[in-house]
Amino acid sequence: MFSTLICHILPKGFMIKPNELIISNITRDLQGTYKCLAQNGLEQNAWRVIELDVRYPPTIEMANLKLGQLLKGTTMVRAVISGNPINLFYWEFEGRPIHGPNSNCLVPMPNEKYCILVGK
């Protein structure tokens, strides 16, 4: 019986040692589920998973840098926030926080609210 040796080229930043996967220079796109599998030729294989949660500081992108509106009109100001985790976010006007029913929403008129969109 012959042994089979399978070689794989590892992605940059990955290194495999006995019982270890070492990931260097972690980026957001490496966040996710990793699975370790073991086989020995018998029927049942063993496997376990681990979730990698990549933490990074928040960034904010504004949908528009400047808006115009007619007097007595309604305008939506939209921000897309990325970060992990995001513990707090809110709007300010003239240096003062704007609070609605929950602190991430602006309530300009009764029964209307505009919220910040939170993305990963």
Give residue 102's pLDDT band: very low, low, confident or very high (50, 70, 90): low
Distances in whole angstroms, Cα of residue 115 to Cα of each of 48, 72, 88, 118: 39, 20, 13, 9
Residues 15 and 110: their CA atoms lie apart, in Å, by 57
pLDDT at 31: 94
Q: What average pLDDT does the segment 60-72 reach?
A: 90
